[in-house]
A and B are shown apart, each in its own frame.
Chain A
Amino acid sequence: MAEKGGKNFSSEKGKTPSNLAASKEGSLKGKDSVPVNKTRHIQLDDSDSEYEGFVDERSPASSKASGKASSDLKSGKKKVSFESLKTGRKTSFETPAAKGDWGKGGKDFNAGKAGGKGSLPRATAVKPRLTEIELKLELELPKNARLLMDCEAAEILQEIEEHKTILSEDPKVKFPESFNKVLQYTKFGSHYINSQSARKVLETLKINGVNDGEICMIGNICPETVEEVYALLPSLKVNKHKNEEPIKEVLASLAKVKTSK
């Protein structure tokens, strides 16, 4: 089980055993004493195993110990019992609120007792910078990965659809149903008349230290005020003094390019 789990979780190298120990106490009351290990290197899982559990491994099973301290549940929520929700499903979700029993659902969690493959001590992070860390994960994707906003994805998928309608005359060629679902979703999500202008406007934020993921999110969400931006993307607050004005300007420019929806 540890091995299986070990495969899933590429190690977070900076973790110290003390974190694990702290989390192991298993108190579900939320220990906010667990330190954030800021030097942690987050690595994505390389394997495509069937048990490829969680895209994000940073809030590990041990996070349930700091579950309540986890800042994305800001108001100290009740624990969610997912087992009752998903009958018969052993795997639970990797969320701070999720139960994620140590022993149970072993296929997703490497309890780290035996150490698995060094996927060990998970720092049970108190995560004020969740979004920031999360978005940094994108850097782990292959370097040629280009982030697309929903509107850009919509344009690309639309082109593909046009090609496909030509190809679909060939009876042998089949298309996955999901393609239509995604196309619909991107259309529903794209608020701008023109994705290039939206992209141009948002690129100006790059010089202010806003990273790609955050730019993309701002593009997708279409916030109306700066407060909304900071509320939804807490990682930007770090540089608030630097980026507040630019963000205001960008929001104003974006408003001009929006479609009326």
Chain B
Amino acid sequence: MFFHITLERNMQLQPRHFGPHLRDKLVAKLMKDVEGTCSGRHGFVVAITNVEDIGKGLIREGTGFVTFPVKYQCVVFRPFKGEILEAVVTMVNKMGFFAEAGPVQIFVSNHLIPDDMEFQSGDMPNYTTSDGSVKIQKDSEVRLKIIGTRVDATEIFCIGTIRDDFLGVINDPGAAS
């Protein structure tokens, strides 16, 4: 789920950056440091929307670096357990399939795929129902429920299921069940 939150961070700037464009350099550095990272608490920082406030810089003892407390707003993405998401399948193998929803990778194990779907290997490995009506293969869109999450420094990884009602392949009329 996406959130728009305010975060604060202490940015350190080297003396060579001081000058008329100090603020711009600070913002650029902030963007470079923060966008695309992940934290357990906030999830994945997608983009900074604006910088609210830059506090007074404090010169650090012993070096010429200056620390500025910066308050900024950003869009973050954080998956929750129990959340329903629509994702695109990226890989299928006999253990299950991988899907991607934004910055998040989700794995759905074959145990969490309905029993009537079986793995078919081949050029395009896929999961198909016995009557062939529903197929899950690379680039299929599926609706899944997240049942577990794990956060790394740069990415979030989740486990999902499509076993429940109304989950499964999208855009097939009779598919989600």
A positions within 8 Å CB-CB of B: 44-50, 52-56, 58-59, 72-75, 77-80, 82, 84-85, 91, 93-98, 108, 130-131, 133-135, 137-138, 141-142, 144-150, 152-153, 156-157, 160, 172-179, 181-182, 185-186, 188-189, 213, 216-217, 220-221, 223, 228, 231-233
Contacts and interface: CB of A to CB of B under 8 A. Distances in A.
A77 B150 contact: no
A95 B161 CA distance: 11
B82 to A, nearest CB: 4
Contacts of A74: 163-164
A140 to B, nearest CB: 9
Contacts of B151: 52-55
Interface in B7-25: none
B102 interface: yes
Nearest to B28: A173
A72 B147 contact: yes
B81 A73 contact: no
A52 B86 CA distance: 25
Secondary structure of the B contact surface, majority rule: strand
A188 B49 CA distance: 21
Interface residues of B, number: 60
A33 B131 CA distance: 39
Interface string B152-163: 010011010101
Contact of B40 (A52, A145, A217): A52
Given A85-B109, A134-B83, A147-B3, A178 B36 contact: yes
B124 interface: no
B129 to A, nearest CB: 17
A131 B36 CA distance: 27
Contacts of A149: 2
Contacts of A91: 150
B7 to A, nearest CB: 8
A199 B96 CA distance: 36
5 shortest A-B CB distances, which residue pairs? A95-B148, A176-B36, A52-B40, A185-B102, A131-B82
